[in-house]
A and B are shown apart, each in its own frame.
Chain A
Amino acid sequence: IQHSTITTKNIVQLDFCPFLGQSYPGKPKIIRCRSLEKETFSCWWKPGSEGGLPTNYTLFYSKDSEEEIYECPDYETSGPNSCYFDKNHTNPWTTYNITVMATNEIGSNGSDPQYVDVTSIVQPDAPVNISLETKTSASTMYLWAKWSAPLLADVNSNSHVYHYELRLKPEEKEEWETISVGVQTQYKVVGLQAGVKYFVQVRCILDLGEWSEWSSERCIQIPNGESPPEKPTIIKCRSPEKETFTCWWKPGADGGHPTNYTLLYSKEGEEQVYECPDYRTAGPNSCYFDKKHTSFWTIYNITVRAANEMGSNVSDPHYVDVTYIVQPDPPVNVTLELKKPINRKPYLVLTWSPPPLADVRSGWLTLEYELRLKPEEGEEWETIFVGQQTQYKMFSLNPGKKYIVQIHCKPDHHGSWSEWSSEKYIQIPTDFRVKDMVVWIVVGVLSSLICLIMSWTMVLKGYRMIAFILPPVPGPKIKGIDTHLLERGKSEELLSALGCHGFPPTSDCEDLLVEYLEVEDSEDQQLMPSHDSGHPSKNAKLIPRETDSDSGRGSCDSPSLLSEKCRESRALPSTLQTQEVRDIQENKGGKRSWQTQCIASEQKILLLNNESTKSSTWPAAQLPTNQPPMFAYHSTVDAHKITLCTTNVNITPVLVGNEEKHQLQYPVTETLHDDMVKQRQMENLHSTDQTTVQVKQSRPDDKSPFLNPELMDYVEVHKVRHDEEPAVLLKHKETNRKTEKYMVPGTSKEYTKVSTVVDHNILVLMPDSRIQHVPVSQEPAMETSQNLQQGQAEKNMSYCLTVPSECKRETSGSEYMDPSSFMPSFK
């Protein structure tokens, strides 16, 4: 489609031309006319469209208003599409009317006429041959620019006077600074910055017309500020052999100009200044003083002067006494020799020679040497001072290693060390001493023999050896608790495993068990602990002691002596109790027997105790066992419950039943004396399920008569039952084994709660509330029951054992209640 549009255009263009692509030419246009020097001029035109056919261009001109039309005289000189009017055809005062005609076969087309006034089209070419230079005069830098007038072809250029203009700018800047030069073809530019690059251009103009174009740019770098040279510095002066010396200096900045250096010196005591005799021998920037010019023991004052066009500068003076600046050359001819004396270790001899220049032979210069040594791979040099000798013997080098050695020297006084000599390598020959080898072989053989023997012995008598060397660690001699036994719960076995034989007192062991329930009554009753008849005098002794005005009463339901909750009215049937006590007392010889009266008392106590918390104190019933252990039991009992009115032996002892898996619950007891039973009991107290045995005092504010052993009564714990209704059953005194369970008259004698422990040795036991009271009729088993008189007070002790189910002891079974700890508390 596009193609078609193009063709359409073409068709349109070819409007006038019936033939394809041909028409008469387009209109040319005169671009410009210019005269270089007012004597000639040229005109240039631009052709119009070609029209497809070759086109001729002709330029016609007429002067002023003349009619005559001339044709361009010269189409060539100024290039294509131009017309050059030479001198003959140029009249500066006429106005030319110029047209260009384009002609081709079809037709022609003429440009618009152009009126040219020569004078107005004058514009010279730019100047040429611009040269730039920087020059210094009178300590100032200026730029010297030169150029030439533009070239003219045939005209005598001398007649033309051009005016010039120069412009320059620093490289970084944008704006030009234009300077009118005049007719000169050179110019001096001042005030230029040092170190800056400048661009320069020139143009010219004739007396009339326009300025030429600017010439092409020329650039120039202004050098840095020039100044006198910087101060040189004298580096060092050295004498290699104490006969001549050389001084070196370091030049400063030269300030942009070539600088000359001169060394001047004067000697101590003299005023004359000399110049360096020899600048060359020792190299650039040096001065060599030969023998003639070297004096010793005099101080030289040396300075170096640097001079250039801008000025000069002198270094600081350097004072030198040649005797002190001697630094020799390194020693030469370093040689090694290996000497192998007979019967001795070979050693190395190192020899060297002093440097050639040093005159050691006359003694003028005496040198000392030092050498340094290191193994080839080593890091640190070992430096050895040798002194004035020129040889050295080395004994202690390792065979087989490669060493590097170097030597240097210095004058013996006042001088510096020379450079190190070049490295010398030493290879120590390895020396296999036969003797050494033999020794090593023997050692090796022996050690292997020993190893063989050792291993053989090990194999044969390995174990014994091992045992000998590493005796076995003895195992523990104490058998701990067998956890399996614990799990099984057979306490007998467990305890036997522990080594406590016969500990859980079975009912056979009753007689070994001495338990006393001590009942204490603060007021006036005293309970005489009844002793088992079979028991010795200890008890007897106890008795009187235990008797006091306030005897403990075996009251079934005594007011709580222990807990504050169990604050009871003291109005307990003391009378009752008294009776009982008396009864008890009567029974001194025998067991303490709880009267059946206690039943009654219990009931009474029942009545009396309406408090929520009652602690019934039981006198510690003394069981028919040997010693009068001081068991103090306290129990807090609910009102409804009557604490055990312990019959003689009817207090069910709490036995640790073997059948039952659990606990050995023994009330915490206190004994007057050491009591094995008690101990045992105590021992048995630990168990898996521990019932906490609480011993409480009837009244906390008691003076602790509670603990008065006299008033205590004890009851053997018969067993501890740990089934759904865990309970501690206290043993009746007189029932040896017959009854395991005793029902306390009026109550079950299961003490399932221990309310408190008092003083660590008194348990307050409390029968379980759930346990129903056994009707009295069940009592008959209890022949003797002591009345548990309600301790009014404080003295009464009741016991109850509570078995909180939560109080289970872990099977660790590691806790013992050591009865011995309780012992001394009773006094």
Chain B
Amino acid sequence: CHTSGMLTPNGKEYAQKIPREELTHLILKLLQAWKEPLSHFNQHIEHHQELPDDSLIKAKQISNMVHELKTGVEKSMGIISNSLNGIASSEAAGLSISNEANMMSDSDFIHCFRRDSNKVQSYLKILKCRIMPENSC
């Protein structure tokens, strides 16, 4: 996976140890890293005749969701200002990363995306329960 290079906590304890901001940053970084490859992937599969329409629609939805999630996280964490730097650097990183992503096969792509989205979800949940422990935590 193109995001394998990123250092992300591999377990609960590690994730709990990381300070909030760093975790948030990490999340955003992940999300950012997928923005470009996703759009590229969508373009790529549009030419696939054998895929059912549902899949194409779903893929588009997912890309949108990722984008919205990113925006949402940013807003909720109030990191818009801070992220300017981060974005710049991450964009640069993202470009190289996305090059790598283009060379993956479709199944690998999906596999990596699945994993990373799970990562993001887990981190977000930890974050949520850290910030707002009342709600179902």
Interfacial residues, chain A to chain B (CB-CB below 8 A) = 242-243, 269, 291, 294-298, 321, 323, 359-364, 366, 388-389, 413-414
Contacts and interface: CB of A to CB of B under 8 A. Distances in A.
A629 B129 CA distance: 122
B118 A323 contact: yes
Contacts, number: 53
B119 interface: yes
A297 B14 CA distance: 13
B52 interface: no
A414 B129 contact: no
Contact of A362 (B4, B118, B126): B126
28 contacts: A242-B12, A243-B11, A269-B4, A291-B11, A291-B13, A295-B10, A295-B11, A296-B11, A296-B122, A297-B10, A297-B115, A297-B118, A297-B119, A298-B10, A321-B115, A323-B115, A360-B137, A362-B12, A362-B16, A362-B129, A362-B130, A362-B137, A363-B128, A363-B129, A364-B122, A366-B136, A389-B136, A414-B118
A413 B124 CA distance: 14
A295 B10 CA distance: 6
Contacts of B136: 360, 366, 388-389
Interface of B: 4, 8, 10-13, 15-16, 115, 118-119, 121-122, 125-130, 133, 136-137
A361 B115 contact: no
Contacts of A297: 8, 10, 115, 118-119
A414 B15 CA distance: 19
Contacts of A321: 115
**Residue picked from B12, B15, B119, B129, most chain A C-beta under 10 Å:** B12
A321 B16 CA distance: 20
Contacts of B126: 362-364
Contact of A366 (B10, B12, B16, B125): B125
Contacts of A323: 115, 118
Contact of A364 (B4, B15, B115): B15
Contacts of A295: 10-11
B137 A361 contact: yes
Given A413-B118, A413-B121, A243 B137 contact: no
A361 B133 CA distance: 8
A364 B12 CA distance: 7
Taking chain A's interface residues, is the majority helix, strand, or loop, or is none over half, making it mixed?
loop
Given A323-B118, A363-B137, A414-B118, A296 B10 contact: yes
A352 to B, nearest CB: 14
A804 B34 CA distance: 118
A538 to B, nearest CB: 97
Contacts of B4: 269
A321 B112 CA distance: 12
A361 B137 CA distance: 4
A269 B4 CA distance: 10
Contacts of B137: 360-363
Taking chain B's interface residues, is the majority helix, strand, or loop, or is none over half, making it mixed?
helix
Contacts of A243: 11-12
B11 to A, nearest CB: 6
A298 B14 CA distance: 15
**Residue picked from A294, A362, A363, most chain B C-beta under 10 Å:** A363
B65 to A, nearest CB: 14
Contacts of B129: 361-363
Given A362-B16, A364-B125, 8 more contacts: A243-B12, A296-B11, A297-B10, A297-B118, A321-B115, A323-B115, A364-B122, A414-B118
B112 to A, nearest CB: 10
A360 B133 CA distance: 11
Nearest to B115: A297
A272 to B, nearest CB: 16
Contact of B12 (A269, A359, A388, A413): A359
B131 to A, nearest CB: 10
Q: Which 8 A-B pairs have the closest CB atoms?
A: A363-B129, A363-B125, A295-B10, A364-B12, A363-B126, A361-B137, A296-B10, A297-B115
A794 to B, nearest CB: 96
Contacts of A364: 12, 15-16, 122, 125-126
A298 B118 CA distance: 12
Contacts of A388: 136
A364 B122 CA distance: 6
B108 to A, nearest CB: 12
Contacts of B118: 297, 323, 413-414
Contacts of A242: 12
A321 B10 CA distance: 12
**Residue picked from A242, A364, A388, most chain B C-beta under 10 Å:** A364
Contacts of B121: 413
Contacts of B122: 296, 364
Nearest to A359: B12
Nearest to B125: A363
A388 B137 CA distance: 10
B104 to A, nearest CB: 15
A76 B93 CA distance: 113
A414 B118 CA distance: 9
A413 B121 CA distance: 10
Contacts of A414: 118
Contacts of A366: 125, 136
Nearest to B4: A269
A145 B12 CA distance: 65
B47 to A, nearest CB: 30
A672 B63 CA distance: 107
A359 B122 CA distance: 12
Contacts of B128: 363
A323 B116 CA distance: 11
A359 B15 CA distance: 13
A220 B116 CA distance: 65
Nearest to A361: B137
A323 B15 CA distance: 14
A414 to B, nearest CB: 7
Nearest to A269: B4
Contacts of A359: 12
A291 B11 CA distance: 8
A64 to B, nearest CB: 106
Contacts of A413: 118, 121
A809 to B, nearest CB: 88
A294 B115 contact: no
Contacts of B15: 364
A388 B136 CA distance: 8
Contacts of B12: 242-243, 359, 362, 364
A389 B135 CA distance: 10
A269 B1 CA distance: 11
Nearest to B136: A388
A297 B114 CA distance: 10
Contacts of B119: 297
Nearest to B124: A363
A296 B122 CA distance: 11
A814 B127 CA distance: 108
A243 B137 CA distance: 17
B16 to A, nearest CB: 6
B106 to A, nearest CB: 18
A427 B136 CA distance: 30
A270 to B, nearest CB: 12
A297 B115 CA distance: 6
B128 to A, nearest CB: 6
Nearest to A323: B118
A666 B19 CA distance: 131
Nearest to B117: A413
B74 to A, nearest CB: 20
Contacts of A294: 11
A321 B128 CA distance: 24
A414 B115 CA distance: 11
Nearest to A292: B11
A390 to B, nearest CB: 9
B62 to A, nearest CB: 14
Contacts of A361: 129, 133, 137
Contacts of B125: 363-364, 366
A202 B125 CA distance: 82
